[in-house]
Each structure stands twice: as structure tokens, then as C-alpha cells.
Amino acid sequence: MYSNYKLNIGKFLSVLFVISLFLFPKYFSIELSASLPIITVQRILMFCLIFFVFGSQNRSRKFFNIIHTVRVKWISVYILSAAISTVFNINSQSINGFLSVIIEQILLFFLMIYICEEVLGVNQVIKLVKKLMFILAILGIFESLFNYNIFNLLYTTSRQLILATTYERMGMLRATGPFGHPLAYSLVIIIIFPLMFYNTRNSKIEIKLYNFLFCILAVNMILTGSRSSMIIFLVQCVLLVNLAKGKSKINNYLFIFLIMLCIIIGLITNSSSNSLGYVSKLFYSISDSLFHTNYISDFGDNADPFLYRNALFKILTNSNINILIGQGANYMVDNVINLTDLYSLNEYTGTLVVKSVDNFYILRVIEYGLVGLTAFLLLVGNLIKKLILDIKISKVCSFSALILVASVGYVTELFAVGDCDTIKFFWFVLAIYYAFKRAERKQTT
């Protein structure tokens, strides 16, 4: 009876933790000091779970067994690269950033494997995530239609974070959800979206089974106003259809086409908002970006994205940046980078003041140097290699294929944006994959 009670506590904390990850990433926060990390409900629940795990010798032994048996050497390299940069750039921002790597990435990774393996199970976690994405998608539509983000009511800290900011493009509020920025929300959709079509009952990819969820997630992707994310999203849709087995592939293509058409028509004909101008201008601006047409002035209230992102590569030659070990985590919080000699770029002559870096890989070099960038690429490369190998040797490759579509889509989009504090979802998906493979191995032995 007592052991069942303890297990119920573990399930309760695990469910709350996953919910906090998706719905309250930075909300219900407590700020102890301006130099210390804010204490979020997500971090509180994480440490409650740690106390739960180490409250029993049996549970703690299983947790350490996971750490010992996973043996992903590139994770150690990843941690070491962050530690080196922090040691050579010691300040409150770099230390906070390093703690974030340890707590919100590495600890989250191992904790989620434990939750999937010992508490909830992989299938239950996926089912829970589907429900949470449904809630986010409904609230995202509500946000854009009524020009109000309901998550603003949960903002409790005085610290000026991006959570307190709203973003518009072409006269319409961009959907941000609880993630503080439209680009962050679009990244979360990209990394989580493919998993929504995994049928836990038969271990297959099902498109039409989750048609309404697909429909509202597609609407939310449009409402984020992120053009590069929309392109990645559409590519993912095509890949998902190709991964679907059986004779239904053509039907799936037709189904996705009809749903996308209905979404666009529905938004265009919605007279209660600026949808007509917004949707048409958004697609025109994608054409301007890719094909150098000139439908929309200034790419829809945004300077030429290619010119700006090309200019960011000049950062790598900036003498103020230690290109080997970087400037430490969160360097761009308190600093700007002045780029000069940009006369080859028509839009930028003289000096360009860079306040934010819309390329995760360049930002990685700024913060952790080439050492940190290499560590991340080795981690991603090892994952992709492992996924491709799984697909080749496994008769039932649905889940590994979905993880491949999700992870490749995410790391590709990072060429156009920073991670916007969504890297934790990459580790979240990585943990689900490792838990799935470990469960699969146990079944075959």
C-alpha cells in the first residue's frame, strides 16, 4: 500500500513536470536576486522529482543505472565544452548559463528517461504531450483572434523577459503561446509536431487519425508568422506522408492538401480580423525571400532576412570574440557586437549593431567558441547517425523515423533563428527516443 502511494506521488509529480515544461516554462517565477537564475515552477517540480527519486534506494539505484547505461560520450563532451567556456569567462551570466545547461538540458534528459522508463511509460508521455499540444494550439488561435495572450496573466516576476513582450507582423498579433516569442513557439511545433502522429496502439504513423490536431497546429504555425519555420513544417508534412505505410499515401497527400487549403481559405475569409492581408502578405513575403520577387515592401516589416543573416557571419572575424572558447553563456544579454566594413551588403553600409543573433550556430560560437559548436555538432551528428542506422536495420522504424524528421527539422531551422530557450525540447525528444529504444531492447531480451 505504501509503495503504491509513493508511486502515485511519482506519477503526479511527473505529469505536473511535463505540463510545466509545455505550459509554464518561465511562469509562476520567483526572483531572489538580479544576479541569480529565476526560480520557475518547472525547476521546483524538477527538484521535487529529484527528491522523490533519491527518497528511495531502489529508485536512486535505477536512476544512476540509467546514467551509467546510456553512455552517450558526446554528452560528456558537450558538458565539458560549456564548462571550459565558463571557467575562462566567469561572471554571473556565464555561470547562470552553465547551470541552465546542467539543469534544464542534461538533468532534464536523464530525468525524462527515468519518467518514461520507471514512472509513466513512453506511450503515456506521448499521449500527454498530444493533449498539451492540443491545448497550446487552441490557445494560440485564441491569442491571434483576440489579440491577447492569456499566459500574460501568469507573469509574476519583475525581471524584463521576452515573456512580457508582444510581437506583430503586418498588423496581426503573432502567436507566441507560453514561450515568449513567436520563433520559440514555431521551434517547439517543429520539434514536437512529428511525434503527434505516432499511434501508440499499433506503433505506426497515422496521419488522418489526428487530422484535427494537424489542422490546428498548421494554423498555429501560420499564426507565428515565421516564414522559415513554415517551410520546414511543410517539408515535414511531405516526409510524414512518405513515411506512412500502405496504400493510403496518396489519400494522405490529398488530405493534407485539402486541410491546408481549408486553413488558408478560412483565415482569408475571416472578416473579424486582418487575416486576409496577413496570410496573403505572409506567403508573398516567403516568395520575396526565396525567389527575390518584390511583392511586399521590406519583407513584411522585416529587413531582408538573407542580407542580415549573411552579415552575422562577419561576427566570426570580429577581434573582440574569442573564437576558440567563446565569451561565455548569455554574452549577448549585456553586450552588442559592432560589425563594420559591410559595404558589400546593399542594406548595410558602415556599421551594423547586432543586438540579437538569429543563427544558433553563430551564437554558439559567440558563447562557447568553436569547441562548443563542435561538441553540439558531434552530439547531433551521432544522433542522426544512430537514427538512420535504426531505420535501416529495424523492420518497424516508425518511431525512429519520426524522431529523425523532428530533430533534423529543428537543427535545420536553427540556421535561421537562435534557440530561443527551446533547446530543452530537443533534449526532451532525445530522452523519449532513448527511453523507447531501451524499452525495445528489454522486450527482445
For 83-104, what is the HEC assignment? HHHHHHCCCHHHHHHHHHHHHH
Q: Which of 387, 390, 439, 389 is nearest to 409 (CA)?
A: 387
What pLDDT is stored for residue 405 in this prediction?
93
Distance CA 173, CA 112 (A): 34
Q: Which domain holds residue 369?
A: 2-444
For CA atoms 148, 152, 153, 158, give the dihedral sign. Answer: negative
Higher pLDDT, 408 or 327: 408
pLDDT at 320: 77
Which cell numbers hold the place of 108?
A: 532534464
CA proximity to 141, closest of 19, 211, 224, 232: 224
SS3 342: coil
The residues pairing with 65 across neighbouring beta strands, listed in sequence order, are none
Q: What is the pTM of this model?
A: 0.85
Confidence at residue 295, expressed as pLDDT on a 0 to 100 scale: 46
d(CA 397, CA 388): 10
Query: Apex CA 280: angle with CA 261 and CA 410, to 5°?
Result: 70
Pick the range with the lowest mean pLDDT from 180-194, 200-214, 415-429.
200-214
Reduced to 3 states (helix: H, G, I; strand: E, B; else coil), residue 129 is helix
More confident residue, 29 or 182: 182
Q: What is the mean pLDDT of the chain?
A: 77
Q: Considering its fold, how many domains does the chain have in total?
A: 1
Cα 134 from Cα 140, distance rounded (Å) = 10
Rounded to whole angstroms, the Cα distance separating 118 from 95 reads 32
Which helix (H) or strand (E) is 353 found in, with range?
Answer: strand 352-354
CB 372 within 8 A of CB 326: yes
Q: What is the DSSP letter of 106?
A: I
Q: Determine the pLDDT at residue 323.
A: 86
Is there a contact between 195 and 432 (Cβ–Cβ < 8 Å)? Answer: yes
Residue 68: pLDDT above 90? no
Give DSSP secondary structure letters for 135-174. HHHHHHHHHHHHT--GGGGG----S--GGG---EETTEEP
The pLDDT score that the predictor gives to residue 276 is 46
Maximum distance among all alpha carbons in the chain? Answer: 74
In terms of Cα–Cα distance, which of 361, 376, 420 is closest to 186? 420
Contact 28, 139 (CB under 8 A): no
As a whole number of angstroms, the distance between CA 424 and CA 74 comes to 17
The reported pLDDT for the residue numbered 248 is 57
Residue with cell 511509460: 121
Tell me which residue of 5, 37, 274 sits closest to 157, measured CA to CA.
Answer: 37
pLDDT at residue 331 greater than cutoff 80: no
What residues form DSSP beta bridges with 39? 30
Residue 417 has pLDDT above 60, yes or no: yes
131-184, pLDDT tens digit by residue? Answer: 999 999 999 888 878 788 787 777 655 555 544 455 555 556 778 888 888 889
More confident residue, 226 or 106: 106
pLDDT band with cut points at 50, 70 and 90 for residue 261: low
User: Cell numbers at residue 435, please?
Assistant: 527511453
